[in-house]
Structure 1
Amino acid sequence: MKKSVGGSASSLLRKAWPLFTAKDWVPAHQLAAHGNGRFDSLGSDPHFRLGHKVPAGWYMLEARLHLPTAWVEVKLYPDTGEGESEANAMPLRLHTDRLGKRLVYLPKPARLRFDPVAAPGGFVLQHLRLVKVADAFARKRLLQKLASKHPVHARKSGKVSAREHSDEQLWSDYCKLFEIGSELVSYADWIEHTEQPQLPSPDQQREEIAAWDWKPRLSIVVPTYNTDPDMLRACLDSVLEQSYPHWELCIADDASPKPSVRTILGDYAKRDERIKVEYRAANGHIVAASNSALALASGEFVVLLDHDDELAAHALYAVAKALQARPTAQLVYSDEDKLDAEGQRCAPYFKPDFSPDLLYSQNYFSHLGVYRRELVEAVGGFRPGYEGSQDYDLVLRCVARVQDARDIVHIPQVLYHWRMADGSTAGGHEQKSYASDAGRRALQDYFDGLGMPVKVSVTAPGIYRHSWALPEPAPLASLIVPTRDGYQVLKTCIDSILALTSYRNYEILIVDNQSTCPQTLAYMARLEADGRARVLHYDAPFNYSAINNFAARQARGSVLGLINNDIEVISPEWLTEMMSHAMRADIGCVGAKLYYPNDTIQHAGVICGLGGIANHSHRHFAKGSPGYFGRLWLIHNLSAVTAAVLLVRKEIFDQVGGLDEAGLPVAFNDVDFCLKVREAGYRNLWTPFAELYHHESVSRGSDETPEKRQRFLGEIAVMEGRWAAQLRYDPYYNPNLTRHREDFSLQGVLEQ
């Protein structure tokens, strides 16, 4: 990359640079041309090629396709003499009928290949252009893109200081902006530029502690057994280094055969009177040892620490500070990370605030876990028979006794470093296969003890499914499907519901919003004539909120299903699964797992504040991906879910006033509705066990008209005015994660 030489962008583009348009790209593999830019892809590897080498330098790639799906990732493959490879491919995400652009850099003359799609099907190549641009223009565009989209390079001034980074680094990071799942902010960068600058100094921490009237004693409970000497010392040193001094360390050694364990523990007990040690006469395993250590505790709160893990130096200070804000807290937990074989921090888990359904799906509470000692004693401490998941069993029994969910406090800071030692579940739950079964039994006990009709199963190591029994008789679900023409889309939707849905007690309400297509009208008439659907006629301009409110008033079911007409059912149990959660007394809106037709994630829940107002998490992830710490495999709570497929009890819909017809006729009405439901005291929930395709945008017109743009800006203003606090902080996300991408990547400097 060369230094800028000046000149305006428009003048630079007017120079006589090499220019390659659609006519220069030759169909080379698995493509059948039909004229006027229409092509059929005949396989999974269709591509075009330029017939000659392209000179080295900077280029701008522009492309626009008409697609049968909402989006596709096209790729440009350069061959500079060493062949084509995925490592050198340059991807560009295109949405149907929308122009996409990206810079291309060729260090040497190259032959080029362009892959428009990666599956069989038809498409229209509307625009494809590759034009050489000046170095100065390319550099300016690159820096502008980094300033607006890259959280490491971006600064609050909105500019990138190019002097801070090599040309190679700038180009590498620019390319990452176009790669799904790429890591823009490394954990090391986050620690250096986000975590550390936000921490008060040890002196500041001590001054703050001295000013507190209440300084709760924290009893750190550590069972040991044959611990590696270096790891044990590191663990104990991390306690001694705590800035908060009001602690006691309660250690029970479970009759370790290694004499070094007793020697080390004895040495440390002599160094600090706050360290208590019990040497068990016989080995009783983790539960017995933990209870022995717990018996030594005299503090108001118990802190669980494994014998080979470490606490952050400010961990107990952060816990005590959180207790100052919530003195009635019963349970406290923090974010955590892992220590690799070299002792380097890695794999951070940034957690949501208390999410009961996530806790029913995995032990996300885990580390750092802090419990009011009276509560632990009231439930009887650790239970024999649950070894491997004894902590999960403990937290579930404690949670069952907490009356106010606000007394379960989350500290969004990494306070615990979990060592990835051999055999530790930090390296994966498969390291201790018996742990998953113990966890399943603990969770089943929890539900049985509360009298809840739930069956627990293990779906992956450390991941559980809680299946809820439906009331008998099964409630009637009213599935509301608004449509306007779009015969094939509507037919796919309705036919798939009728053919595949195993839950039988439902009615379909098709809301016809001024359809004129004879084929569509005839199809709806047939459905109504044979009793497979009711057709309601909404004869007014399109208003998504008003259409659904209109249908809800005429629905006969106790549960409403808001269903887009471009949905296609692919899992027979989708409605059974969603109904089972919708009928739970504490649950409001229930969302489903939606895929684009190319088998990538379209919807896995909505995060408030993402991209401005709200956006879908994990969008574009592969179908089988576990997502962020298994989130795509887990039932969990979210602030909102999309109304493309949303179930909610009719009484709740009526209670909150339905969808906002006046302020949110088209956009964000589902997010607004979900937030109203949450404010009314219900938890919204997403389940991965209801799977459907969402042929998004197939039935919609362009959103680019001035009128629609003005309407959209008005809807943004409504959301910002109504939900400012909720858009700033989503309790089911984490403030350390980005608000610019949907992939749970780390927050950068720009976002602080």
Structure 2
Amino acid sequence: MMENRFVVQEGHFHIADRNSYVLTGWFEGDGQELPEHMDFSVFLDCERQKIKIRSYSDDSVRQKYMKYDLKVSREYVIIVRLPEDLRKYRRLFLCLADGSRVYERRISQLRKLQGQLNYRITNIQSTGASCVVTGWAASEKPIKINVFDLAKEPMKCEVSHFPKPDVALEYREAQQLYDSGFSVTVPVNGRKKMLLQITDGEHSVMREFGASDKNRLSLYMKKAHYYMKRNGVKKACKRAVNELYELVGDTGNYMKWRRKNMPSEKELERQRKEQSRFRPFLYVITPYEDVHYITSAAISLKNQTYSNWKWVIVCTVEEKEKLMERIRTHIPSEKLRIIPADGEEGYQHRIAAGMRKTLEQLRKQEKDKQKKDDPSWLLLLNPSDTLEPDAMYACVKLMETNAQMDLCYTDEDQISEDGKNYSEPVFKSDFNIDLLRATNYIGHLLLIREDAAVKTGSWNPSCLSEASYDYVLRAAETAAYIGHLPRVLYHVRENGKQGRRAGENVLNEHYKRVGLPAYAQPSPTPGIYHTVYQWMETPLVSVNIPNKDHIDDLDTCVQSLLSECTYPNYEIVIIENNSVEESTFAYYEKLKAQDSRIRIVVWDDVFNYSKITNFGVAHSRGEYILLLNNDTEVITPDFMVEMLGYCMREDVGICGARLFYFDDTIQHAGVIVGLGGICGEGFQGFPKENGGYQNRIFCPQNYSAVTAACLMTKKSVFEEVGGMDAEFQIAYNDIDYCLKVRSTGKLVVYNPFAMLYHYEYKSRGTENTAEKLARYHREVDLFTTRWADLISAGDPYYNPNLTRRYQDFSLRRIELLK
């Protein structure tokens, strides 16, 4: 008998056979090796039914459940053949070999579901004059979407279909599954309610929806009701509580998340008693200001589980007495050093004095041979801020894992004035040089090793509020390794806005020091800087566009390049791929006559996107390659200049762009490995004016991957890694290519200032045959096997505290009920 509980995820009727019911489940905590065949029984009341059992243990199982933070190694699919007439039965049961019931449904529920289409509405969003409805519907027949007003008069709408890998994995019994995802954009025209019809010709559903996204909570409640009909009240209540809990967000959600993720008192006590050989000395530097919060800072230091530290406070003689009144009961004298601030006026000058005199003391100790072998570290604690009790301990543990680390930073949040509430957590990327050049994302808590601090030089008070930005940039320039601890260990009380002019100045000085021909200028978003590169060279860029018929899309793409693109030195290489319409070849001749920069090369083998791309690159003359889909259109005329600016850097191998759907919502703003279990595009569906979490949509930054719908790369790098892998015929070839380039040490950059439309899925085929589905699953398995370590460890440019389920960088889910 299995010791672990069997969990049924959800039941649904077979797509092709409505007299068969499909149950999918797994054994909870299945760390042990599970057999391929298990003994299940299904009963209608007391009558045993015929069943078929299939099990899956490939990588697609792991990626399917990973987004729920579940470790499932084997999935069981039980197909129950039901009688034609269900009216005489009351309940359906699924039992294990020992007779225990693990699933139960009322027949009245099943009869209602039997004739319904399998579908789900996942989001309804207003974009001003229009409304966008997204969702999925699973059928072996093509899905058609219609929109009506309340009088059932048809309305004009834009519908796009796209594949949903998670749906394909859910309906494994399907012999063929048409692209199940859909997005419907409909003009509102003052209407508050409309009707959405989803049909496959045989089954149809009509769903009323609101034209505003103000009632998003209502949508979730409707989803909970739908779930209840399928799974019963008990499971639905648990699911609804967890979904609504995640939806609440903001302070309430984060406070609960924080309490769950804080170390216990038992763990803190264990840390205090721990004896370790590695005990670097930490100097905590604080520029004193006459604020009553200094007591909170003192208490947070007193509570540290790591004891090898000293608090260095810079203040005047007059301030010292008041300071000591506030901290003497918390900080013993041997852990305190007061540095006179005479002549050091201003907050930044006091930081400079504290760091300078601390380093002088360390040099004197080294000269007198009083210094221990373990290096000392410096960190800055603002007088109004506090640390978590295990902040120093956790940072020291990170230092111990990497002897080459010169800098270390952590995540942070904001603390209320009374010190009781925490909010606005900042969950950061691992070291991200291009994000740092867009904004000072590192912030607090920052620790620097003493020798690295000497190399970095003095704190520069003349930079005013951007002195910390200047210091971090200078430290990063010489650091051998920069570590990131993805835990909220520092709590900030807001001290006002940063000066933008100083930020541009420190960035420009940084570019001079590192020898990059670039300058920073303001962006439309305060606190974010736009770097403009000024390379002397104008190398040839080969724009590679694969195409099969669809000349209207291709014409839009090519004409926007010819009329809008400001970069002077490029060629267009159209890779003809098995077109069948005579008008296509006539159009090619017209293009060649229109502009001498346009060439047509012919791929005469079967479709394989990777091989076609490699073929196009081999026929390209440019030093740089721009891979471009035929269903794109230029928005910013200097997009090629923007992308080339980054791509010409020695440390960069790839640059991607910000892409929009036709309704001005985000289609691509960087790819996150592990999102959804495999990989996914962050912020997809966000409005154009929304910067997303920490305004990351608006920030140039490093990502693990970008989409090849618009991807620039060095031809030499492309050839060095062997181009795209032909085993990825359609899916994941661009992500695999990006990760191969990353493995050589080159960076992948997302540049939001290069913008194009991407009318995705207009010109691609559908995953509508058993052969195509099998190919897709093979490519999923290949990708998840090849990059298993990265998927498991987590994307370094994403934060493990953020969700893998959604694309919005929201807080990682906590299950309240299980």
Task: State the TM-score, normalized to the length of structure 2.
Answer: 0.71
- Aligned-partner SS, 1:466: strand
* DSSP 3-state at the match of 2:465: coil
Q: Which amino acid in structure 1 is aligned with residue 112 of structure 2?
A: L
1:417 maps to amino acid: H
Q: Which residue in 1 is equivalent to 2:500?
A: 436
What do residues 287-307 of structure 1 show as CA deviations (whole Å, max 9, x unaligned)? 211122224535710011111
Q: Of 95, 102, 106, which aligns to 1:6?
A: 106
Q: Tell me by how many angstroms 1:203 deviates.
A: 2.1
Give CA deviations for 1:42-84 in whole Å, capped at 9, x if unaligned.
xxxx961168xxxxxxxxxxx999835458xxxxxxxxxxxxx
- Given the superposition, is the C-alpha separation of residues 164 and 694 from structure 1 closer, same or farther in structure 2, using an over 3 Å criterion? closer
- What is the CA-CA distance between 1:444 and the residue it aligns to? 1.2
Deviation at 1:533, TM superposition (A): 1.1
SS of match in other structure, 2:529: strand
Aligned to 1:276: 337
| Contact map agreement 1:591 1:687 (CA 8 A) in 2 | yes
Give the Cα–Cα distance (whole angstroms) in 2 for the partners of residues 606 and 213 of structure 1.
41
Give, in whole Å, the separation in 2 of the partners of 1:246 and 1:747: 34
Q: Which residue of 2 aligns with 1:496?
A: 560
The question of 1:409 aligning with 2:452 is answered no
Which of 367, 380, 389 lines up with 2:457 in the alignment? 380
Which of 718, 725, 728 pairs up with 1:664?
A: 728
Give the match for residue 689 of structure 1: 753
Asked if 1:351 is matched to 2:351, the reply is no
In structure 2, how many angstroms separate the alpha carbons of the residues matched to 1:11 and 1:68?
31
Give the TM-score normalised by the residue count of structure 1.
0.77
Whole-angstrom distance in 1 between the partners of 2:601 and 2:280 = 63
Q: How far apart are 1:701 and its partner, in Å?
A: 2.1
Give the residue type in structure 2 aligned to 1:323.
M
Change in Cα spacing, 1:563 to 1:254, as seen in structure 2 (3 Å) is farther
Aligned partner of 1:677 among 731, 738, 741:
741
| Selected match of 1:201 from 260, 267, 271 | 267
Could you say if the C-alpha distance between residues 496 and 342 of structure 1 is closer, same or farther in structure 2, counting changes exceeding 3 Å? farther
Q: For the structure 1 residues 601 and 70, does the alpha-carbon distance in structure 2 shift closer, same or farther, using more than 3 Å as the test?
A: farther
Question: 1:354 offset after TM fit, Å?
Answer: 0.9
Which 10-residue stretch deviates more, 647-656 or 253-262? 253-262
2:257 aligned with 1:190, yes or no? yes
Q: Are residues 1:577 and 2:657 paired?
A: no
* Contact 1:482/1:512, CA 8 A, preserved across alignment: yes
Mean Cα deviation higher: 738-747 or 552-561: 738-747
Does residue 1:240 correspond to 2:302, yes or no? yes
CA distance in 1, matches of 2:714, 2:720: 10
Contact 1:643–1:670 (CA<8 Å) still a contact in 2?
yes
User: Do 1:561 and 1:648's aligned partners in 2 also have CA atoms closer than 8 Å?
Assistant: yes
Q: 2 CA distance for matches of 1:638 and 1:447?
A: 21
CA 1:668–1:202: 2 relative to 1, 3 Å: same
The answer for the alignment partner of 2:437 in structure 1 is 360
Q: CA shift at 1:263, angstroms?
A: 3.6
For 1:48, the equivalent position in structure 2 comes to 149
Contact 1:738 1:746 in 2 (8 A): yes
Per-residue deviation, 1:198: 8.3
Q: How many residues align?
A: 634
Which residue is equivalent to 1:320?
396
1:294 matched to 2:355: yes
Equivalent in the alignment of 2:21: none
Maintained 8 Å contact 1:65/1:96: no
Residues 668 and 99 of structure 1, relative CA distance in 2, 3 Å threshold: closer
Match of 2:16 in 1: none
Q: 1:395 to 1:99 in 2, by over 3 A?
A: closer
Q: Which residue type is aligned with residue 281 of structure 2? A: R
User: Alpha carbons of 1:700 and 1:9: their partners in 2 closer, same or farther (altered >3 Å)?
Assistant: farther
Aligned with 1:522 (options 566, 586, 590): 586
Contact in 2 for aligned 1:354/1:408 (Cα 8 Å): yes
Tell me, yes or no, if the aligned pair for 1:64 and 1:98 is still in contact at 8 Å.
no
Which residue is equivalent to 1:391? 468
Secondary structure of the structure 1 residue equivalent to 2:290: coil
Counterparts in 2 of 1:341 and 1:488: CA distance versus 1, 3 Å: farther
Instruction: Identify if the C-alpha distance between structure 1 residues 255 and 639 changes in structure 2 by more than 3 Å, giving closer, same or farther.
Output: farther
The equivalent of 2:9 in structure 1 is: none
* Counterparts in 2 of 1:529 and 1:315: CA distance versus 1, 3 Å: same
For residue 419 of structure 1, what is the aligned residue in structure 2? 493
User: 1:465 offset after TM fit, Å?
Assistant: 1.7
Offset, 1:258: 11
Check the 8 A contact 1:358/1:635 in 2, yes or no: yes
Deviation at 1:254, TM superposition (A): 5.7
SS in structure 2 of the partner of residue 216 of structure 1: coil
Distance apart, 1:705 and its partner CA: 2.2
Give the corresponding residue for 1:92.
none
Is the 2:179–2:768 contact (alpha carbons within 8 Å) kept by the matching residues of 1? no
**Residues 222 and 674 (structure 1 numbering): CA distance in 2 closer, same or farther, change over 3 Å?**
same
CA contact (8 A) 2:507 2:519 kept: no
Which ranges in structure 1 are unaligned for 5 or more consecutive residues? 17-28, 32-36, 41-45, 52-62, 72-94, 102-110, 118-123, 132-136, 148-158, 426-430
Output the amino acid matched with 1:371: I
Residues 378-422 of structure 1: CA deviation (Å, up to 9, x unaligned):
3332113111011111111111112x3xx21111111101113xx
- TM-superposed CA distance for 1:38, in Å, is 11
Matched residue, 2:652: 587
Distance 1:670 1:397 in 2: 34
Change (3 A) 1:173 1:189: closer
Shift of residue 667, structure 1, vs aligned partner: 0.4
Work out the CA distance in 1 between the residues paired with 2:661 and 2:178. 13
Say which SS state the counterpart of residue 461 (structure 2) adopts: coil
Match of 2:412 in 1: 336
In structure 2, the gaps of 5 or more residues are 1-103, 117-128, 132-142, 163-176, 184-190, 209-221, 363-374
**After superposition, what is the alpha-carbon deviation per residue over 1:120-168, rounded to whole angstroms, capped at 9, x for unaligned?**
xxxx9x954259xxxxx99785259999xxxxxxxxxxx9866768x7x
Identify the match of residue 142 of structure 1 among 227, 235, 238.
227
How far the C-alpha of 1:549 sits from its partner, in A, is 0.5
Please report how far the alpha carbon of residue 437 of structure 1 lies from its aligned counterpart in structure 2 after TM superposition. Answer: 1.8
Instruction: Check the 8 A contact 2:566/2:641 in 1, yes or no.
Output: yes
- The alignment partner of 1:400 has SS state of helix
Pick aligned residue for 2:785 from 718, 721, 738: 721
Whole-Å Cα distance in 1 between the matches of residues 730 and 642 of structure 2? Answer: 28
Deviations 1:421-451 (A, max 9, x none): xxx14xxxxx34xx22222211211110122
Counterpart of 2:688, as a letter, is K
- Residue of structure 2 in register with 1:304 after alignment: 380
Letter aligned with residue 443 of structure 2: S
Q: CA separation of 1:185/1:224 partners in 2, compared to 1, >3 Å: closer, same or farther?
A: closer
